Amino acid sequence: MIRILHVLYGFECRIFHKINRHFERVWLNLFFRTVTHLGGARFTISASILLYLLSWSRETRLLAIAGALALSASHIPVQIAKVLFPRKRPYLTLDSTKFPENPLKDHSFPSGHTTAIFAILTPYILSVPQIAFLLILLGLSVGLSRIYLGLHYPSDVLVGAFLGAFAGCLSYLLLCI
């Protein structure tokens, strides 16, 4: 079992380095340093409130509430996981990792930014399939930005996406169906 974990970790580190090595590219840097904030607390909470206030029907109001509920609920397991699995961020453990000034200092597993963006997007993905591709692309961009910026391993992002999507699905089922 330990051997399997070492092989998976090695694979994950190779994926991480393939993404993070492009850190010096100006346009990628601009894009990922901007899009990463879409998963931050300030943006996701503000977006949830704004989506509620701009709701034009009962359905869109329920979607906004479902997104806000998913955002709130998804961060309980994130905080528990960060305590139970205190994984150091890649820039602290992997040589030659490129990262921005003043990086986050807390634990990396799972990615809270990725969890947040998928939590608020998932009810809309389920309700409005015409824009699902764009919303999924947006969520994946936030997740990829976390790796690109040297702040998360790929598994941090995958688990964050799963937690956010799961919370989004549950809140959608509870409120919108």
Distance CA 24, CA 28 (A): 8
**Predicted pLDDT at 15:** 92
Residues 6 or more apart whose Cβ sits within 8 Å of residue 111: 39, 143, 146, 151, 152, 156, 157, 159, 160, 161
- What is the reported pTM? 0.93
Distance, CA of 76 to CA of 114 (rounded, Å): 14
DSSP string, 20-35: HTTTT-HHHHHHHHHH
Tens digits of per-residue pLDDT, 25-78? 889 989 999 999 999 999 999 999 999 999 889 999 999 999 999 999 999 999
Tell me, rounded to whole angstroms, the distance of Cα 104 from its chain centroid. 15
HSE (CB half, 13 Å, CA atoms) of 45? 6
